[in-house]
C-alpha cells in the first residue's frame, strides 16, 4: 500500500534566501523539520544555526511558528532564528564572523516575535529560555509580553 504525499509548502522567498546564502559563504542544508534549514558559514563550520524561513509579505499571523517549532526553540540550546529577508542573512553572516551569533539570533527572534505576536509569547515558549527571555526584556525594555496567543 502506498500513501500519497503532498510536497511540503515552502515560502515564496525560500529559494531566493537559500541561493543567496550559498553565494555569500553559507553551507545550507534543508531539513524541513523541525525548521526549514541548518546553516553554517564555510569558514566557521563550528557555528550551526537552525533557521526557519518566513515570507515578510505574508500577514503576521501567517508567519507564526508552528507549535512544534516553538517547542523546539524552547529546548534547543544552540542558535535558532527566523530569516525573512536578504538583510537578515547578511546580519547573520556578519554576526557569525564577529563571534556574536548568539546575540544576533536573539535580537532577530525578539524582532520577529514583536512583528508576528505583538510581543514575546512567553506562554508558548516553555522550558529553560523562559527566564532568559524575561530577563532580556526587563534589561532592554523592548517587547510587551503577550499571553494567550
| Domain-located, residue 35 | yes
Q: Is there a contact between 43 and 25 (Cβ–Cβ < 8 Å)?
A: yes
**Hey, what's the cell of 39?**
546553516
pTM for the whole structure: 0.79
| Domain-located, residue 145 | no
**Hey, what's the cell of 90?**
547578511
Return the pLDDT at 110.
87
| Domain-located, residue 87 | yes
CATH number for the domain spanning 27: value is 3.40.1350.10
From 139, 35, 125, select the one nearest 79 (Cα to Cα): 35
Average pLDDT over residues 28-40: 94
| Domain-located, residue 92 | yes
| Domain-located, residue 140 | no
Query: b vs e for 36-52, b when ≥16 Cβ sit within 10 Å of the residue's Cβ?
Result: bbbbbbeeeeebbbbbb
In sequence order, which residues have a C-beta less than 8 Å from that of residue 4 and are 6 or more positions away?
A: none
pLDDT tens profile 54-107: 999 999 999 999 988 988 888 888 999 999 999 999 999 999 999 999 999 988
Number of H helices, E strands in the chain: 5, 4
Domain assignment of residue 36, given as a range: 14-118
| Domain-located, residue 88 | yes
| Domain-located, residue 109 | yes
Return the pLDDT at 9.
72
| Domain-located, residue 113 | yes
Total number of domains in the chain: 1
Amino acid at each position: 500500500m502506498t500513501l500519497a504525499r503532498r510536497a511540503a509548502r515552502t515560502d515564496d522567498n525560500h529559494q531566493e534566501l537559500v541561493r543567496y546564502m550559498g553565494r555569500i559563504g553559507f553551507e545550507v542544508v534543508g531539513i524541513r523539520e523541525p525548521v526549514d534549514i541548518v546553516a553554517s558559514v564555510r569558514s566557521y563550520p563550528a557555528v550551526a544555526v537552525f533557521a526557519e524561513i518566513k515570507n515578510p509579505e505574508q500577514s503576521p499571523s501567517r508567519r507564526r511558528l508552528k507549535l512544534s517549532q516553538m517547542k523546539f526553540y524552547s529546548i534547543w540550546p544552540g542558535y535558532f532564528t527566523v530569516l525573512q529577508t536578504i538583510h537578515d542573512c547578511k546580519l547573520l553572516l556578519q554576526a557569525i564572523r564577529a563571534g556574536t551569533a548568539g546575540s544576533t539570533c536573539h535580537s532577530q527572534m525578539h524582532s520577529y516575535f514583536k512583528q508576528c505576536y505583538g510581543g514575546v509569547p512567553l506562554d508558548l515558549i516553555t522550558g529553560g529560555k523562559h527566564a532568559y527571555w524575561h530577563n532580556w526584556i526587563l534589561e532592554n525594555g523592548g517587547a510587551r509580553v503577550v499571553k494567550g496567543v
